[in-house]
Chains A and B, each alone.
Chain A
Amino acid sequence: MTEYLIRRVLQSVLVIFLITILTFLLIHAAPGGPTQVMLSPGLTPEIFEQQAKNLGLDQPIPVQYVRWIGDLLQGDLGYTFKNHIAVSDLLWPRIGNTVILMGAAWLVSLLIAIPWGIYNSTKVYGLSDQTASFISYLGFAMPTFWFGILLQQWLSLKLDWFPLSDMYTRGKEGDIGDLFMHLVLPITVLALGFLASYMKYARASMLEVLDQDYIRTARAKGVKERKVVFRHALRNALIPIITILGLDLPILVGGAALTENVFNWPGMGRWFVEMAGAREYSALMAVTIVTAVIVVIGNLLADILYAVVDPRVKLGKQGGKTA
């Protein structure tokens, strides 16, 4: 197991290194740069060239890359070009904000989706199953930003039950109750989206398992239905669900740009889009690194949980499973 982990980590480091090179090349290939902002009469391109030079952006790309990776190895994520603010000062608070929002939405949706999906798999096409299907369709079909605006119009502007946007009311920063009130609407929007897919997964993978021979055997032996579902079927049904959850882990830090925009949530998704528009190379690279690390961790976690859930899977030498 340890040997397996070490091998996986080394592989991952190599992959991440290659990703950084590729991303660095890609974002520098995009036209424009961090210094160009506004057009006004008299602002000649020479001014912006001089600014780029003052920021070291006139250096060849390989030189810039080496400089960046050198800083990174010393734990320094660099500075924004536009205003020389440490990227780490910008990144970590946003990751925190996004984890709060996405984590809460994710938990809410899992707590509803998985039990409900399992329940529906035992009563296919019942009323509950039909309702769940309908909600899933809504979740898939409704554009999040549109649904978000709808909720704002109705529950905030009209009824005044919830705050319109932001993370905290001005002057109440850090107040948990206030944060909770601000979370309700965006979580509703995000959870509906997650709910739709997780419910489908849970139901489908349960149905697949319930169709297996050993389940039929169990039932034939006269095992109670409850025990069949929870003891025999569920453990096997969870395996694909865990895979999906592991692969979805990056969502937690990636954020959801559109929802964050509508609810003015100071999170990663929105920031990333903003930084891409502004060609803030260091910030974009920082996001890339963090996301890549999370993806790798997510995959690793999924594999380890596999072994926990499914005794047939052995990690390491004997097992056939490597990344």
Chain B
Amino acid sequence: MAKKRKWWSSLLVVSLVGVLFTGCSTNNTASSPTNAPAATAAPAESTAPDATEAPAADAPVDGGTLVTSTFSDIVNLNPLLINDTSSGDVAQFVFAKLYNLDREGNVQAEDWSLAAELPEISEDGLTYTVKLKDTPKWSDGQPITADDVIYTIETGKNPETGSPLISQYDKVKTVEKIDDHTVKFTLSQIYAPFLYALVQEIVPAHILKDVKPTEIQTNAYGTDPAKTVTSGPWKWTAWKQGESHTLDADPNYWGTVKPHIAQIVYKIYADQNTEVQAIMKGDTDHISAIPVTQVEAVKADGDIDIIQKPGAQYEYVMFNFDGKNFPDNYGLFAGQKTRQAIAHALNRQGMVDNILKGVGALMNAPFLPDTWADPGEAAVNYDYNAETAKKLLAEDGWVADPKDGILVKDGHRFSFELQYNAGNSRREQVAAVIQQNLKDVGIEVTPKAIDFAAWIDQNVTPGKFQALLLAWSLNTPDPDAESIFSSKYFPPAGQNSGWYKNEKLDQLWVDGYSTVDQAERKEIYKEVGKEISTDLPYVFLYQYGQAIGTGPRVHWAEEDAPEPSLGYGQFFHAIKWWVTD
């Protein structure tokens, strides 16, 4: 779009009908109100016949195309196999879930959820009864019933399928059909996070029931649009591999709330920089993640709304407690005081301010700030203080080598390698800060960037490294993190890659999911927060977020705005968004 002309036409519109647009700026959470009218200035230069002479921009219009983008193509849209963000993105539009999350991360039966009401949980916390609406249909017209739910859960928890859902459903003992629209789950133990496992897309049993579990991956369902029956407001019309997906509003969509947007194009760009250029050009209307380095440039463009808020992910430094990874089997991180010293030595706030440009929140425990499980003050906060760090290191027996100032204990130099994945510019910067911060207290760090696939395979999964810098994306709002901290989950089968063992915590994690009473759980996670922040299997750095950008054509009412704190929250309530040309 020609910027100059646009600016003039916005001005014109402002002067003529400025009063009309008060409702419009409700969706602009992070930018100057001047860009709100700009959206309606578009008719001046668009040829679209339906260029509604600016209805008050708070009234949704039907039709139009929303172009959203990403920087890697999908893998597979079959909900049994979804394990990458792009496939997850597209699934948000084409599949209905049993339940959905509201803005606060609570499980709800929304108008567009398959379930009619919240599940009925038995007194003993072991059975969940889910009632489905009787209206939902697949895009081929077949009804969505209890059979589909049962098929999805059973296939997902079957180890032969190789489905990532196994971790959500491995505590399901039986799943039974009460009637066509009622399903009863019986768990083998009380498992509080199970409620969130019901925020799940369902697959069509009538299409897949005869496919062997070992052949689900090679089946065309999920990779061929013509063979992928869906259940959401939009259907998957076309996929040009490596280029784009076309999703069209499904005329037979069963929901009472219909989507306004007629077509969604999900474009694949080569990388984030190309994507950012494209949104500035107007080639795309929505971008899930603007790199921190580019946010300022996009803001300067003036047309793009930016929503920046930390999301459901946090970065950490993981220590390896397995001595085998160190020279002479001497685990450098064995001392609790040593780990606490490292936490004090790191300038975490500086990282948030300078590298994340302020969009991040410090964390002291593996629970996201401002969620119900956040232990707050109960967790130990390590302020940035090199003196305290040095003191703790001295107490733990580390003495500076007079030659170069590097600390030594029992004849072992305090020198380790910090691994991270190559190509991640944020981690590259953070690793450099860590190196400098620790050098200040006499610890020598060698940052090492490794190709992601190789790194996971050779180091992370088998637990072979000295320390690493990585992040967890939390795909459910439940605070349970047993699978990454408990000694039940040592490598190579589990994800406790640092071989961390703490019996008290092992028990607390179990207690934490063995009751469905949230107040009780809150107390337990407070205790977890206290213990884990004292003992420090990780140094928890910060919760961070991606800046979501939307162009001037996209609109929503305030309650339907993107919600960065939720997984896939960049498309929160997209069914209610509309676009203007």
A83 with B76: CB separation less than 8 A: yes
A41 neighbours in B (Cβ, 8 Å): 472, 474-475, 481, 483-484, 495
Say whether A46 contacts B493, CB under 8 Å: yes
Q: A85 vs B214: C-alpha distance in the bound complex, in angstroms?
A: 17
Q: List 10 A-B contacts (CB under 8 A).
A: A30-B453, A30-B454, A36-B456, A42-B167, A47-B166, A83-B223, A84-B220, A85-B241, A266-B243, A279-B453
- Residues of B in contact (CB 8 Å), total 66
Residue A73 is within 8 A (CB to CB) of chain B in the complex? no
* A89 contact from B162, B215, B241, B456, Cβ within 8 A: B241
What is the CB-to-nearest-CB distance from A81 to chain B, in angstroms, rounded to a whole number?
9
Which one of B11-19, B95-103, B277-285 contacts A? Answer: B277-285
Please, which residue of chain A has its CB at the minimum distance from the CB of B216? A54
A residues neighboring B (CB under 8 Å): 30-33, 35-48, 50-51, 53-55, 79, 82-85, 89-90, 94, 149, 152, 156-157, 160, 163-166, 170, 260-264, 266, 270-271, 274, 277-279
Chain A residues near B457 (CB-CB < 8 A):
31-33, 36
Given the interface contacts A32-B456, A36-B453, does A84 sit within 8 Å of B217 by beta carbon?
Answer: yes
The interface residues of chain A lying within 8 Å CB-to-CB of B217 are: 51, 54-55, 84
Q: How many A-B residue pairs have CB under 8 A?
A: 154
Taking a contact as CB atoms closer than 8 A, the residue among B220, B274, B461, B475 that contacts A165 in the complex is B274
Of all chain A residues, the one with the shortest Cβ separation from B453 is A32
Interface residues of B in 485-499 (CB under 8 A from A): 489, 491-495
Residue in B67, B84, B280, B492 whose CB lies within 8 Å of A38: B84
Q: Which residue, of B167, B168, B240, has the highest number of chain A Cβ atoms within 10 A?
A: B167
Is there a chain A Cβ closer than 8 Å to B473's Cβ? yes
CB distance from B550 to the nearest CB of A (A): 18
By beta carbon, the residue of chain B nearest A79 is B218
Provide the B220-231 mask, 1 if CB < 8 A to any CB of A, else 0.
101100000000
Q: Which residue of B lies closest to A40 (CB)?
A: B475
Does B164 have its Cβ within 8 Å of any Cβ on chain A? yes
Could you mark each residue 159-184 of chain B with 1 if its beta carbon is under 8 Å from any beta carbon of chain A, else 0?
Answer: 11111101110000000000000000
Q: Please indicate the chain B residues that have their CB under 8 angstroms from the CB of A277 in the complex.
A: 451-453
Q: Is the CB of A45 within 8 A of B166?
A: no
Tell me if A47 and B493 are in contact (CB < 8 A).
Answer: no
**B270 within 8 Å of A (CB atoms):** yes
Q: How far is the CB of B170 from chain A (nearest CB, A)?
A: 9
Known pairs A84-B218, A260-B270. 19 more at Cβ < 8 A?
A: A32-B456, A40-B472, A41-B472, A41-B483, A42-B483, A43-B83, A50-B159, A50-B160, A51-B217, A82-B75, A85-B223, A94-B242, A157-B281, A164-B283, A165-B278, A170-B67, A270-B270, A277-B451, A277-B452
A122 and B532 CA atoms in complex are apart in Å by: 79
Partner of B274, one of A33, A89, A157, A262: A262
A35 CA / B168 CA spacing, docked (Å): 19
Those of B1-53 within 8 Å (CB) of chain A: 1-2
User: In the complex, which residues of chain B have a beta carbon less than 8 angstroms from the beta carbon of A44?
Assistant: 167, 483, 489, 493-495
Instruction: Give chain B residues whose Cβ lies under 8 Å from the Cβ of A266.
Output: 240, 242-243
Contacts of A279 in B (CB 8 A): 453
- How distant is the Cα of A166 from the Cα of B456 in the complex, in angstroms? 33
In the complex, the answer to whether B278 meets A39 with C-beta atoms within 8 Å is no
* C-alpha gap A83/B217 in the complex (Å): 7
Residue of A51, A94, A149, A260 with most chain B CB atoms under a 10 A cut-off:
A51
A217 to B220, CA, bound (A): 73
Residue with the greatest number of chain B CB neighbours at <10 A, chosen from A44, A83, A157, A164: A83
What chain B residues lie within 8 Å of A90 (beta carbons)?
241-242
Chain B residues with Cβ under 8 A from A278's Cβ?
453
CB pair B281–A83 under 8 Å, yes or no, is no
Interface residues of B in 445-494 (CB under 8 A from A): 451-454, 456-458, 460-461, 470, 472-475, 481, 483-484, 489, 491-494
Q: How far is the CA of A33 from the CA of B281 in the complex (A)?
A: 37
Residue on A nearest B166 in the bound complex, by CB = A47
**Chain B, range 135-174, C-beta contacts under 8 Å to A:** 159-164, 166-168
- Interface membership of B269, Cβ < 8 A: yes
Cross-interface CB contact of A164 among B281, B460, B461, B491, cutoff 8 Å: B281
Q: Within the complex, which residue of A160, A164, A271 is in contact with B277, where a contact is CB–CB below 8 Å?
A: A164
Q: Please name all residues of chain A whose beta carbon is closer than 8 Å to the beta carbon of B281 when the two chains form the complex.
A: 156-157, 164
Q: Does B123 contact A (CB under 8 A)?
A: no
Chain B residues with Cβ under 8 A from A160's Cβ? 1-2
Please determine whether B274 and A264 come into contact, CB atoms closer than 8 angstroms.
yes
Docked Cα-Cα span, A157 to B493, in Å, equals 50
Q: Does B265 contact A (CB under 8 A)?
A: yes
Nearest residue in B to A81 (C-beta to C-beta)? B217
- How close is A18's CB to chain B, nearest CB, in angstroms? 26
A88 vs chain B, min Cβ distance (A): 12
On whether the beta carbons of B494 and A39 are closer than 8 Å, the reply is: no
Instruction: State whether A83 and B222 are in contact (beta carbons under 8 Å apart), knowing that A38-B84, A170-B265 are contacts in the complex.
Output: yes
* Chain A residues within 8 Å of B404, by CB: none
Complex Cα spacing A129 to B135, Å: 77
B456/A264 in contact, CB under 8 A: no
Query: In the complex, A42 Cα to B478 Cα: how many Å?
Result: 12
**Which B residues from 192 to 242 make CB contacts under 8 A with A?**
214-220, 222-223, 240-242
**Across the interface, do A261 and B271 meet the contact criterion of CB distance under 8 Å?**
yes
Least distance between A216 CB and chain B CB atoms (Å): 54
Q: Which of B282-298 contact A (CB under 8 A)?
A: 283
Smallest Cβ distance from B331 to chain A, in angstroms? 23
The residues of B that contact A38 with a CB separation of less than 8 Å are 83-85, 473
Given contacts A31-B453, A84-B223, A165-B274, contact A39 B472 (CB under 8 A): yes
Which residues of chain B (321-353) have a CB below 8 Å from chain A?
none
State the 10 A-B residue pairs at the shortest beta-carbon distance, nearest first: A32-B453, A42-B167, A261-B270, A51-B162, A50-B162, A31-B454, A32-B457, A164-B281, A84-B218, A31-B457
